Every structure is written in C-alpha cells, then in structure tokens.
Amino acid sequence: MKLKSFNLNKILRLFLPSIFFMFFFTLLAFDSSVWFGNLIGAIVALLLFGNLFLHNNIISRIFGIVFLLISFYMLLALFSDVVNGKATLGYLAGLFLFLSSLAMSILLILGCEKKQPLNETEQS
C-alpha cells in the first residue's frame, strides 16, 4: 500500500484559508469586550473549523464572498485615511493584511471542488 503523496495544492486550497480566518476570528472571540462580539467570533471560528473536515462547498463559498466584501471595505477605509492624511507607517501592515485576506478569500471560494474520479495512475 502506497502512502498518499504530499499535495501542496490541496493544503493551499482547502486548509490554509480556513485556518487563516479561523485564527483571526478566534482572536476576535477572545479580545472583544462585548459578549455579542465574542459569540459571533466563536461561531464563525467553529464553522470554519468544521469546514476544515467537511470541505463543504456552500459554506466555503459563502464565507469566501463575505470575507472578500469585508476585505474591500477594509481597503476603502484604508484609502480614506490615506486621502485624509491620517495614514502612518503602520498602515503598511493594514495593506499587507488586506492583500493576504483578499488572497485567502479567493482561495476559500475556489477551494472545494467536486471530486474527480481517480485515473489509472492514482488508483495503483
């Protein structure tokens, strides 16, 4: 019996985006002073954790689209501060966070695909 090969594409498309957003929503759940913020952060983190194992196409696409819209809103807020002259050097971290969340949102949307039947080389 052969061991399954290390599939970097599967890790990048299925696991990394969920872990990325799960990390930030877990931080929200512990850092928020409002109990409703704790509850929302915990629920989203648990749904993303469940998505790691279930690979549900609907959950992945819904969360991917929502996170993509939130990322664009964050970009508009960032540009608003730049135009008003309030931007400092710390805004580069915000730009990096925007770019990484944009990439992870796209990976989350495209992550779960229908399973293709195994061809002859993968079966043996």
Domain boundary assignment for the chain? 8-112
- Higher local confidence (pLDDT), 121 or 1: 121
Name the residue among 83, 67, 79 with its Cα closest to residue 28.
67
DSSP H helices, the chain, are: 8-10, 16-31, 35-54, 57-84, 91-111, 120-123
- Enter the tokens of residue 55: 């690979």
pLDDT tens digits for 34-78? 888 788 888 888 888 888 888 888 888 998 999 999 989 988 888
Average pLDDT rounded to a whole number, residues 90-113 = 85
Amino acid at 113: E
How much is the pLDDT for 90?
80
- Higher local confidence (pLDDT), 102 or 7: 102
How much is the pLDDT for 69?
93
- Enter the tokens of residue 87: 């931007």
Name the residue among 81, 78, 76 with its Cα closest to residue 93.
78
Task: Give the DSSP letter of residue 89.
Answer: T
